[in-house]
Amino acid sequence: MSATVARPSLSACLELLKPVTWFAPVWAFSCGVVSSGLGGAGRWHLILAGLAVAGPLVCGASQAVNDWYDRHVDAINEPQRPIPSGRIPGDWGLRIAVLWTALSLAVASLLGPWGFGATVIGLALAWAYSAPPLRLKREGWLGSTACAACYEGLPWITGAAVMTAGAPDGRVLAMAGLYSLGAVGIMTLNDFKAVEGDRRTGIRSLPVRLGMERAAQLACGLMAAPQVAVVGLLLAWGAPWHAGAIAAALLAQVALMRVLLANPKEKAPWYNGTGTTLYVLGMLVTAFALRPVLP
């Protein structure tokens, strides 16, 4: 019999925090910084703190929370993960989640009231998504919407707020909201990998509720419709070249969506690496488009 692990290794803790997932909120925060139209002079310490909050801290905390409360599901879907595999023993998963949440709040206190407020909302959604009694992930719409807000909208708003030291421009808020709505589709595709465990443990993700084919159709519509709105708004705001670039990226996504819809189960990970990449590139194009039209 192998010896019981008393405490987790640093490598197991890092795996629990899932650095690969930090990219999306860090990217969205960066889009917020760009969309503010302001330079970094005198603000680099806040930008760096914001990047840390968006990625390693808040996103890392959300991953620890999710893995702790999903440990029984992961024992079915992905038993090699740190908690079900025993590499993070006992209640260390919960301890790390609480510690990382507190550290996130401490660093976010440097970001001003809007940045701190967005961080509080993001952390609250992260806990509500995974932890009882709410456990939003049990209902597909609520769970996917909460995730989308945490990964896209709130980091974007935080990035803009850090730069302006106040409420972001209304156009910035509109774009953050639209790209959050589109991200619900991304989160729906991400749930494809856990369908079997979700079904067996009573989690009604959209792929479980609708079936993979209908869920994929819904995801494509959710990703495409906000981008159409973005194109229209940018044209109205006098940014035709940026609108054209996003329209071209959307047309490419539609072509990729046709491949996805032909075989959703097999192609969902592929689409997340191709079509989703075009989606997030459009976010940055949009952020640059907002710069010359801000007051």
Report which residue type is found at 278: L
Q: For residue 253, give both structure tokens.
A: 């996504």
What is d(CA 154, CA 163) in angstroms, rounded to the nearest whole number?
A: 14
Segments in the chain forming alpha helices (H) = 10-17, 23-35, 44-52, 60-69, 71-77, 92-108, 112-130, 140-148, 154-164, 170-190, 195-200, 206-210, 212-236, 240-262, 264-290
Report which residue type is found at 288: F
In tens digits, the chain (295 residues) has pLDDT values of 344 557 899 999 999 999 999 999 999 999 999 999 888 888 899 999 999 999 999 999 999 999 999 998 888 878 999 999 999 999 999 999 999 999 999 999 999 999 999 999 999 999 999 999 999 988 889 999 999 999 999 999 999 999 988 888 899 999 999 999 999 999 999 989 888 888 888 888 899 999 999 999 999 999 999 999 999 999 999 999 999 999 999 999 999 999 999 999 899 999 989 999 999 999 999 999 998 554 4
Nearest of 135, 268, 267 to residue 201 by alpha carbon = 135
For residue 195, what pLDDT is reported? 85
For residue 5, what pLDDT is reported? 57
Q: Which CATH number applies to 10-293?
A: 1.10.600
Cβ within 8 Å of residue 141, ≥6 positions away: 206
Q: What is the pTM of this model?
A: 0.92
For residue 3, what pLDDT is reported? 47
Cβ within 8 Å of residue 154, ≥6 positions away: 25, 118, 119, 121, 122, 176
For residue 39, what pLDDT is reported? 84
Nearest of 183, 190, 203 to residue 264 by alpha carbon = 190
Half-sphere exposure of 160 (CA within 13 A, CB side): 26
For residue 2, what pLDDT is reported? 42
For residue 37, what pLDDT is reported? 87
